[in-house]
Structure 1
Amino acid sequence: MDLILKERLLQLFRDRESNLERLARTIQNRIGGSGIQPLLLTRAQLAVDSALVDTQIALADTEAARRALALLLGKEGAPNLIPVTKLRDVELEDPPPYEKIIDSIKENFPNLVALRLGIGLAEKQITLAEAQVWDDFTISGGWTRQYGVGVWPNSIPLTSGYPLENGLPGQNSWAFGFNVPIPSLNRNQGSIRKAKVTKQQAEVYYKNAEISLEKDLKGLIISLALNKKIIQQIELSQLPKAQRVLNNQQRLFGTGGANLLEYFDAINAYNATLSTYYKAVADYRKNKARLEAYLNLGIRS
Structure 2
Amino acid sequence: MKRRIPDLRSTWFRVLGPLVAWSIVATASAQDASSGSGKLIERPNLGPIAPGSLDSNLPPSGSLQPNPFSIDPGIIGGRRRSGRIPRPGARGFSESNVGGPPALPDPLPGVAPPEPSDGPPVGDISDLVNQDGPADGLTLDAALDRLKTANLDVLALKYELPQAQADILTAGLRANPLLYFDTQFIPYGTFNTRLPGGPTQYDVNITYPLDVSHKRQARVAVACAAKRVLEAQFADVARRQIANVYRSFVDLQSARIGLRALETLIQQQEDVLKQVRRGAGPKKKSALEAEKLEIELAKSRAGLNDARDSLADAQEALGLLLALPPDETERLEPRGRLRALHPPLPSRDDMIRAAQANRPDLAAARLGIRRADSEVRLARANRLDDVYLFYDPFTYQDNHPFQAASARSWALGVTFPVPLFNRNQGNISKAQSNLGQSHAEVTALERRLASEVRQAYREFVAARESLILVERSVLPRARFALDQAVSRFLAGDLEVGDYLDELEDDADSARLYRDAVFRYRRSMLDINTAVGVRLMP
Whether 1:128 and 2:364 are equivalent positions in the alignment is no
Distance 1:204 1:52, change over 3 A: farther
Q: Name which of 349, 358, 361 aligns with 1:111.
A: 361
Q: Name which of 49, 61, 85 aligns with 2:298.
A: 49
Structure 1 residue 123: Cα displacement:
1.3
Distance in structure 1 (CA, Å) of the matches to 2:397 and 2:318: 88
Distance in structure 1 (CA, Å) of the matches to 2:392 and 2:468: 91
Q: Which moved more, 1:116-125 or 1:213-222?
A: 213-222
- Contact 1:17–1:55 (CA under 8 A) maintained in structure 2: no
- Contact 2:280–2:491 (CA under 8 A) maintained in structure 1: no
Q: Which moved more, 1:236-245 or 1:251-260?
A: 251-260
Structure 1 residue 252: Cα displacement:
2.3
Distance 1:250 1:115, change over 3 A: same
Distance 1:215 1:117, change over 3 A: same
**Counterpart of 1:85 in 2: which secondary structure?**
coil
Q: Name which of 330, 335, 344 aligns with 1:84.
A: 335
Q: Which residue of the partner structure matches residue 256 of structure 1?
A: 492
User: After the TM superposition, which residues 110-259 of structure 1 pair with which residues of structure 2 at under 5 Å, given as runs?
Assistant: 110-137=360-387, 179=416, 181-182=418-419, 184-200=420-436, 202-203=438-439, 206=442, 209-259=445-495
The one-letter amino acid of 2:305's match is Q
Unaligned 5+ segments in structure 2 are 1-249
Q: Which residue of the partner structure matches residue 164 of structure 1?
A: none
Q: Which moved more, 1:209-218 or 1:13-22?
A: 209-218
Q: Which residue of the partner structure matches residue 162 of structure 1?
A: none
The one-letter amino acid of 1:286's match is R
TM-score, structure 2 length as denominator? Answer: 0.46
TM-score, structure 1 length as denominator? Answer: 0.76
Describe the superposition over 1:174-203 as per-residue Cα deviations: whole angstroms up to 9, x where unpaired: 887764514x43231121133234335544
The one-letter amino acid of 1:48's match is L
Distance in structure 2 (CA, Å) of the matches to 1:207 and 1:122: 15
The one-letter amino acid of 2:307's match is A
Whether 1:16 and 2:265 are equivalent positions in the alignment is yes
Q: Which residue of the partner structure matches residue 267 of structure 1?
A: 503
Query: For the pair shown, which has the larger CA radius of gyration, 1 or 2?
Result: 1
Distance 1:204 1:244, change over 3 A: same
Distance in structure 1 (CA, Å) of the matches to 2:349 and 2:325: 41
More contact order relative to length (CA 8 Å, sep ≥ 6):
2
Distance 1:261 1:197, change over 3 A: farther
- Contact 1:70–1:77 (CA under 8 A) maintained in structure 2: no
User: After the TM superposition, which residues 68-83 of structure 1 pair with which residues of structure 2 at under 5 Å, given as runs?
Assistant: 68-73=317-322, 74-78=324-328, 79-83=330-334
* Percent of pairs with identical residues: 21
- Contact 2:387–2:414 (CA under 8 A) maintained in structure 1: no
- Contact 1:95–1:221 (CA under 8 A) maintained in structure 2: no
Q: Which residue of the partner structure matches residue 519 of structure 2?
A: 283
- Contact 1:130–1:192 (CA under 8 A) maintained in structure 2: yes
Distance 1:64 1:300, change over 3 A: same
- Contact 2:459–2:523 (CA under 8 A) maintained in structure 1: yes
Distance in structure 2 (CA, Å) of the matches to 1:276 and 1:228: 14
Distance 1:70 1:299, change over 3 A: farther
- Relative to its length, the structure with more helix (as a share) is 1
Distance in structure 1 (CA, Å) of the matches to 2:332 and 2:395: 89
Q: Which residue of the partner structure matches residue 315 of structure 2?
A: 66
Distance 1:262 1:134, change over 3 A: same
Structure 1 residue 86: Cα displacement:
2.3
Distance 1:117 1:21, change over 3 A: same
Distance 1:253 1:207, change over 3 A: same
Distance in structure 1 (CA, Å) of the matches to 2:319 and 2:493: 50
Distance in structure 2 (CA, Å) of the matches to 1:129 and 1:68: 47
- Contact 1:228–1:284 (CA under 8 A) maintained in structure 2: yes
